[in-house]
Amino acid sequence: MNNKYLIYGKGGHGKVVEDTVYQLDATNTVEYFDDASNPYNQNYEVAAKLIIGIGNNEVRKRIAETVKHCFATIIHPTAYVSPTAVIGEGTVILANAVVQADAKIGKHCIINANVTVDHDAIVEDYVCTYPAAYVAGFARITEGKTLKPGQVVWKSEVF
């Protein structure tokens, strides 16, 4: 099923989002825009879904609160997301990530490659997890935090 996506920002994260969109379906189409392309004077198709392809949590939040558009949630085909997990709008879950039972991922998060969010964990809005981070069962990552590559947050921690 061909879908149209808009990606706000064409840096490194935007490129990874584009790759994921094509992994979902090679017939999907992608168009980029950002502040430099003056998106408010462009005629972008309303039916297209928007992903903010910017890794900086604060910038992603500012854009999400400013841009009025339908946001997509992107899950790479090699990721596993439990059917009981809750994933917020605008979130991107990348290759080989695992989101276990009853985990909650907020809006506009980046769950990077090889990240595990274990059962009952809560990842609040605008969080970025770098590759190979681990969020243990019942742990909580508060809004706007960034987990470093390989960082582990235990269930008794609120980060």
Only one residue has tokens 């910038």, namely 59
Residue of 13, 69, 108, 119 with catalytic role: 119
Only one residue has tokens 């470093």, namely 148
Token pair recorded at residue 128:
């970025």
Quick check: is 108 catalytic?
A: no
SS3 letters across 52-89? ECCCCHHHHHHHHHHCCCCECCEECCCCEECCCCEECC
Exposure string of 74-113, with b = 16+ CB inside 10 Å and e = fewer, is bbbeebebeeebebbebbbbbbbbbbbebbbbbbbbbbbb
Q: Number of H helices and number of E strands within the chain? A: 2, 17
Token pair recorded at residue 38:
């003056």
Would you please indicate which residues are annotated as catalytic (active-site) residues?
A: 119
